[in-house]
Amino acid sequence: MIVESEKEINSLKAIGRVVAQTLKLMMEQAQPGMTTAELDNIGREFLEKEGAQSAPQVMYSFPGATCISISPVIAHGIPGDQVLQAGQLINIDVSAEMGGYFADTGGSMVVAKQVSEYDKMIEATKSALVKAVQAARAGQPLNGIGKAIQDEAKRNGFGVIFDLTGHGIGHKLHEEPTQVYNYYKPKDRRILDEGVVLAIEPFLTTGRGHIFEESDGWSLRTIDRTVAAQFEHTVIVTKDEPIILTLA
């Protein structure tokens, strides 16, 4: 989507705020003894209260309002009867639609305690997202986003997940550009247009950086069962600082 009016910006800001607040609420409420279905229901109720609806359910008939992944599953985890335990590394991904506009956000956390190995990776992934967003400027190469992510991962002693990408978003959950790589791809010659809306979502890992789809047809885990962390923002690209839509 290319933003063409102040009305569109305001509509994107509105749904961006909702998904950001949903994610914040879910991360605050996650605790040992709770099932992922119970945590998902907290997100579902908040989205409904705000007048939004789950994007993965609307677009893809996903069996949950949000994606909740317990490591080594790193994305598209189905909420269910799994019980959260202290010290688990989990990822929560929230995307939703309101008034014909979509936004997408996500974050990783450790349940109820500090685990130094996970905490270091989480902070590095947050930093990679900051660097990636700063690289998203109109007129600049799209692959500058992936370079920023990969450079920050390497600086902190981590790799990236090569098989998962960010994406365009706006009137649908996934739009052009359909692949915003989390690594530098020299042959990618695309240039960022002013006003394009992107979901930027770096994944950092301790492993080889490739994934495997579980038998449920949704859950994605690392092929070597290593851990990974993800953080995500939806942004509008401008000639200057991007507009971050998913700040709580």
Whether residue 19 contacts residue 94, with contact meaning beta carbons closer than 8 Å, is answered with yes
In three-state secondary structure terms, 137 is strand
pLDDT of residue 248: 86
Give SS3 for 27.
Answer: helix
Average pLDDT for 195-223? 97
Q: What is the pLDDT of residues 19-39, one digit of tens each?
A: 999 999 999 999 999 999 999
Look at residue 40 and give its three-state secondary structure: helix
Q: What average pLDDT does range 162-170 have in this prediction?
A: 97
CA 62 – CA 46 distance, rounded (Å): 18
CA distance 75 to 230: 9
Percent share of the chain, pLDDT over 90: 98
For the domain made up of 6-244, give the CATH fold.
Creatine Amidinohydrolase (3.90.230)
**pLDDT-based confidence at residue 150 (cuts at 50, 70, 90):** very high
Q: Is residue 72 reached through a cis peptide bond, with omega within 30 degrees of 0 on the bond before it? A: yes
Q: Is the pLDDT of residue 94 over 90?
A: yes
52: which 2 tokens? 């939004």
Query: Are 223 and 208 in contact, with CB atoms under 8 Å apart?
Result: yes
N residues, the chain = 248
- Quote the pTM value: 0.95
Torsion region of 99: left, alpha or beta (phi above 0 gives left; psi -120 to 50 gives alpha): left
Alpha helix locations (H) across 74-170?
116-135, 143-155
Alpha carbon distance 84, 39 (integer Å) = 9
Mean pLDDT score, 201-216: 96
